[in-house]
Amino acid sequence: MKLKTILILITLLIVLLYCFTYVPHKIFDINPDEVSKIHIVDGNSGYRTDITCEKDINRIITSLNEVTFKKGKLSAGYMGYRFDTTIYDTNGETMKELIINSSDTIRYKGFFYTSTGTQLEYEFIDELVEKLVSKQENQNQN
């Protein structure tokens, strides 16, 4: 009898803990000073670029830190993305990997997450990537 009660309680606790992962919360807590670069692959064009400007890194990381996300459905099996993003620390090690799909949607650790309230700096990232890719293309032509 006691074993059955303990198993039921453990099962309920696991289910309850899993449900709490769907409560909106902040996913990222990254110190911008510890980031050396942000590598982005543009899913529309296939171009790859590195953001190394400290001011741009601070803006993007601060945006990620401020947004509260709600966990959604599994992202397994979904194709396509807008910005495949990898954040590197000052030692060149990967800190975080995520996909930014829009100003309010990311894919992270196998799930879609939607922002609740504050939006991501999507337009800023889009313009920055476009500018950096254009700069790379101009250098390649010379």
- pLDDT for 142 equals 63
Residue 23 · residue 57 · CB < 8 Å: no
Q: Which residues contact 52 (CB under 8 A, 6 or more apart)?
A: 36, 37
**CA–CA separation, 39 and 112 (whole Å):** 20
**Report field, pTM of the whole predicted structure over 0.85:** no
pLDDT tens sequence for the chain (142 residues) = 688 888 888 888 888 777 666 777 888 999 999 999 999 999 988 899 999 999 999 999 999 999 999 999 999 888 889 999 999 999 999 999 999 999 999 999 999 999 998 899 999 999 999 888 787 777 777 6
- Tokens 């790859």 belong to residue: 48
> How many domains does the structure of the chain reveal?
1
Q: Which residue range forms the structural domain that includes residue 115?
A: 2-141
Residue 142 Cα to chain centre, angstroms = 35
